Amino acid sequence: MTYALWIIQILLGLLFLFAGGSKLVMSIVMMQELARQSGQTPLPAMLLRLIGVAELLGGLGLILPGLLRIRPGLTPLAAAGLLIIMIGATVITLSSGPIAPALFPLIVCLLLLFVLYGRWRLAPIQPR
């Protein structure tokens, strides 16, 4: 169980580090144009930047506390915060059109739920 949790945590952490970093590096105009091209509703500029910061910090929170064994209780909190963001992403994607594009954020939600429950109840990381 611990190995499965670590693999999922690292993959999700890298996913959110990339997603959050790209939201902070890309221009707002480019992100809103990408949203329009994919048929989604463009979000306000400050909300995109806020989501980018939250994703970046959440990605770090999935990996670093367990890796360094400093405050490992932050890992389930990071998973819970990212879960809120991904529920919003799923709802926004569903509201803008077909169901198929909403499957990816939904799967990420399920994986975050697994990490949240796994690190909270099944296999919590012990601090030093």
pLDDT score, position 90: 95
pLDDT score, position 120: 92
Note whether residue 7 is domain-resident: yes
Note whether residue 102 is domain-resident: yes
3-state secondary structure of 93: helix
Per DSSP, the residues of 11-64 read HHHHHHHHHHHHHHHS-HHHHHHHHHHTTPPPPPHHHHHHHHHHHHHHHHHHHH
What percentage of the chain's residues is helix, strand, coil (to nearest 5)? 80, 0, 20
Low-confidence residues of the chain, pLDDT below 70?
none
Q: Which two tokens stand for residue 80?
A: 């819970």
Q: How many domains does the chain have?
A: 1
Note whether residue 128 is domain-resident: no
Instruction: Say what the pTM is.
Output: 0.92
Q: Which domain holds residue 70?
A: 2-122
Note whether residue 21 is domain-resident: yes
pLDDT score, position 8: 97
- C-alpha 5/C-alpha 103 separation (Å) is 21
- C-alpha 12/C-alpha 96 separation (Å) is 25
pLDDT score, position 35: 86
Q: What is the pLDDT of residues 100-125, one digit of tens each?
A: 989 999 999 999 999 999 999 888 88
Give the count of alpha carbons within 13 A of 70, CB side only.
4
Note whether residue 43 is domain-resident: yes
pLDDT score, position 1: 84
